[in-house]
């Protein structure tokens, strides 16, 4: 929609275009108002999600760098909690607390620290669930862009068809099929199609862009739970007592 406003300002016939919009029929104006709503809401989502994913990407890079640089899980936990914009932060928090509960149970049993693969699989499943929930939050309202991209061209086409039909109806009323009679109505009708395309194009681009971002984040989420369990196994193998003393 902003592109269209720029075109209006740059167009030497802008007043004619504006007049055609204002002189359009009631049905066409309603369609244009709906398209304006779709455009405003879509651009609000695009701007908001761009900022959100920018912070997510930044925190995820820093989080993974910190996670892989540290050796002890207690150090990792404390160092990574500051990167709360990434879904991995919430996964680490839940995974670490689950691991802490398992260690407390092992200590109370007085049988030494012996965490089997089944317990680790439970922790991984919990982390995967939290990761899916975080991805769902990130994906919120992105589907509206797909709805806008799919619906707006058809709304514009509907307004155009209605306008063309009205123009042809005026031929019967005036009893003339000259270009001077038909052209203004058809030109007004085509405005709706232009609006529909201008609204749809950025929405489709935004939806595809954020869809790729979500896929990339989803891969990181899937990999991180396995990476966390590998870190747990490694520390259990080399520093069982040290790990317990830090939890």
| DSSP labels, 97-150 | HHHHHHHHHHHHTTS-----HHHHHHHHHHHHHHHHHHHHHHTTTHHHHHHHHH
Q: Which residue has the tokens 């209006």?
A: 8
pLDDT value of residue 174: 59
Residues 115-130: b if buried by 16+ CB within 10 A, e if exposed: beeeebeebbebbbeb
pLDDT of residue 108: 62
Q: Are 145 and 43 in contact (CB under 8 A)?
A: no
Query: What's 71's DSSP letter?
Result: -
- pLDDT at 114 (0 to 100): 64
First to last CA, the chain: 55
Q: pTM above the 0.85 mark? A: no
> Hey, how many other C-beta atoms are within 10 angstroms of the C-beta on 67?
20
Least confident of 2-16, 171-185, 214-228: 2-16
- Kindly list the domain boundaries of the chain, sorted by start residue: 26-246
Residue 176 CB neighbour total at 10 angstroms = 12
DSSP for 8-21, written as a single string: HHH-TTHHHHHHHH
Angle, to 10 degrees, between the axis of helix 117-138 and the axis of helix 26-69?
Answer: 150
Structure tokens at 132: 């899916």
More reliable by pLDDT, 13 or 23: 23
Neighbours of 23 (CB within 10 A): 12
């Amino acid at each position: 929609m902003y592109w269209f406003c720029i075109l209006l300002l740059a167009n030497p016939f802008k007043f004619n275009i504006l007049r055609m919009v204002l002189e359009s029929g009631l049905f066409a104006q309603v369609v244009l108002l709906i398209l304006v709503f779709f455009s405003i809401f879509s651009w609000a989502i695009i701007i908001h999600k761009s900022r959100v994913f920018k912070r997510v990407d930044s925190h995820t890079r820093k989080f993974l760098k910190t996670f892989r640089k540290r050796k002890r899980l207690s150090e990792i936990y404390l160092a990574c909690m500051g990167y709360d914009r990434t879904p991995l932060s919430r996964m680490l928090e839940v995974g670490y607390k689950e691991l802490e509960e398992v260690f407390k149970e092992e200590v109370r049993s007085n049988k030494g620290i012996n965490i089997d693969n089944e317990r680790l699989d439970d922790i991984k499943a919990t982390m995967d669930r939290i990761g899916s929930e975080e991805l769902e939050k990130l994906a919120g309202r992105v589907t509206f862009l797909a709805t806008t991209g799919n619906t707006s061209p058809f709304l514009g086409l509907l307004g155009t068809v209605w306008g063309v039909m009205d123009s042809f109806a005026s031929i019967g009323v005036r009893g003339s099929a000259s270009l001077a009679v038909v052209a203004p109505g058809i030109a007004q009708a085509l405005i709706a199609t232009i609006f529909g395309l201008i609204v749809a194009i950025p929405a489709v681009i935004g939806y595809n862009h954020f869809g790729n971002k979500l896929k990339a984040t989803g891969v990181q989420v899937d990999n991180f739970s396995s990476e966390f369990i590998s870190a747990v196994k490694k520390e259990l193998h080399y520093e069982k007592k040290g790990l317990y003393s830090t939890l």
